Amino acid sequence: MASIVTSNLVPYGDTTGDGAVQMSFTLPIEPSPKAQEAASLLVRGWGFSDVKVAHMSKVGIGYSFFVVFGRSEKGVNYDKVIVPELTGTKLDYKQIDREILTKIGRPIRVIGANTGFDAHTVGLDAILNMKGFDGDVGLERYKGFYTVNMGSQVQVNVLVERAIKEKADAILVSKIVTQKDIHIADMRDVVSYLKKKGLEDKFILVVGGPRITHKLALELGYDAGFTIGARPSDVAAFILKRMLERKGKKD
């Protein structure tokens, strides 16, 4: 049996190294043998071999849906994939509270909002509110955190002004809607507003949402990005870590 080649990591179907991929797409043509051939040529044109058009069916008026299987030899060099990881030892909420008490000496002040027109508060609430997420209590429950949850559809200037007023240490932004990359535009808005006001280093800036990666967040000038499955204690631990770093610098 072939062994896994990490320097050219390819998908696995049922034989190591087979490069097996499933695809589906719609073409703006009615189903026909010609359409099927076109689908096959299309996928072969993308560089796949052993292309099987497993399914073609009519969709609505003038469209066809295809399910296609193929193989690719073109892998990725896994050894060279570098991704900033949000590491840090996993702490539970009592440990974090204790550390904040002893090392920071006062509650950390955080403020969160869905900016722009985003009204999806479930994710943000999961992090901030008492109840928390998946059995992990929210920041509001911590003695070590003072939290303000501004909720949905908050304009950037309103958020920042409130952050100043509340003397926040960290701003937490939630971005769920990603249609036409609106989340990226909205994320940029926060950073450029802070820059404009000369506040870019004042707050720990954290963002979260289903299409956020830590990498993306860093690229856009945030301190951290959290995504699906993020737990309040992960976020708390990160903020604590960053607070300690900042404190270290100041000292």
Partner 1 sequence: MSYAAKLPLSTAKIARCRSIAKKIGDDVADLVRSHSTVGIERAVLRLLGIDSAADRGGLLYPQANLVVDQLAEHGRLQEGVLYWIANAMLHTGNDLSALKQSLDDGLDIGTLPERKRTKTEKLAKQLATRAQKNLLERVAHHKKSRKGLHDPAGQARPLLYQIVATGNIYEDLIQAKSAVKDGVEIVAVIRSTAQSLLDYVPHGATTEGFGGTYATQENFRLMREALNEVGQEEKKYFRLTNYSSGLCMAEIAALGALEGLDCLLNDAMYGILFRDINPIRTLVDQHFSRLICAQSGIWIMTGEDNYMKTTDAVKSGDSVLASQFINERTAINANVPLKQMALGHAMEMNPEYDKVILMELARAQMTRQIFPESPLKYMCNTKYKTGDIFTSHTIDTVFNMIGAFTGQGTLLLGMPTEAVHTPWLQDRSLSARNATYIVRGAEGMVNELGFRSDGFISKFAQDVLDDAVKLLEKIHRIGFLKAIEKGVFADVKRPRTGGKGASGVFPIEPGRYVNPLYKMMGSRI
* Binding stretches for a copy of itself (CB under 8 A): 4, 9, 11-13, 16, 20-29, 32-34, 36-38, 41-42, 45-48, 52, 63, 72, 74-76, 78, 81, 83, 85-86, 211, 213-215
Select from a copy of itself, ligand B12, partner 1, none the partner in contact with residue 95, using the beta carbon and a kind-dependent cut-off of 5 to 8 Å: none
Is residue 125 at the binding interface for partner 1, with CB under 8 A as the rule? yes
Residues 6-65 interacting with partner 1 (rule: CB under 8 A):
12-16, 20, 22, 24-26, 52-55, 57, 59-61, 63, 65
Query: Which runs of consecutive H residues, i.e. helices, occur in 152-231?
Result: 156-165, 182-196, 214-219
Select from partner 1, a copy of itself, ligand B12, none the partner in contact with residue 83, using the beta carbon and a kind-dependent cut-off of 5 to 8 Å: a copy of itself
Please report the DSSP string for 215-242 in residue order: HHHHHTT-SEEE-TT--HHHHHHHHHHH
How far is Cα 128 from Cα 116, in angstroms, rounded to an integer?
A: 19
Please report the DSSP string for 61-109 in residue order: TTEEEEEEEEE----B-GGG------------HHHHHHHIIIII-SPEE
| CB-based contact 201:93 (threshold 8 Å) | no
Is residue 228 at the binding interface for ligand B12, with CB under 6 A as the rule? yes
Within 13 Å and on the Cβ side, how many CA atoms surround 238? 25
Say which of 58, 131, 165, 196 is annotated catalytic. Answer: 131
Q: Which is nearer to partner 1, 13 or 221 (CB)?
A: 13
Active site residue 195: no
Select from a copy of itself, partner 1, ligand B12, none the partner in contact with residue 127, using the beta carbon and a kind-dependent cut-off of 5 to 8 Å: ligand B12
205: how many CB neighbours lie within 10 A of its CB? 24
Is residue 233 at the binding interface for ligand B12, with CB under 6 A as the rule? no
Find all residues with CB under 8 Å of 135, minimum gap 6, and list them. none
Select from partner 1, ligand B12, a copy of itself, none the partner in contact with residue 1, using the beta carbon and a kind-dependent cut-off of 5 to 8 Å: partner 1
Select from ligand B12, a copy of itself, partner 1, none the partner in contact with residue 101, using the beta carbon and a kind-dependent cut-off of 5 to 8 Å: none
Q: φ, ψ for residue 216 (rounded to 5)? A: -60, -45
How far is Cα 68 from Cα 39, in angstroms, rounded to an integer?
A: 8
134: how many CB neighbours lie within 10 A of its CB? 9
Which of 80, 167, 180, 250 contacts partner 1 by CB under 8 A?
A: 180
Among 76-84, 120-128, 187-195, 240-248, which window interacts with partner 1 (CB under 8 A)?
120-128
Enzyme catalytic residues: 131
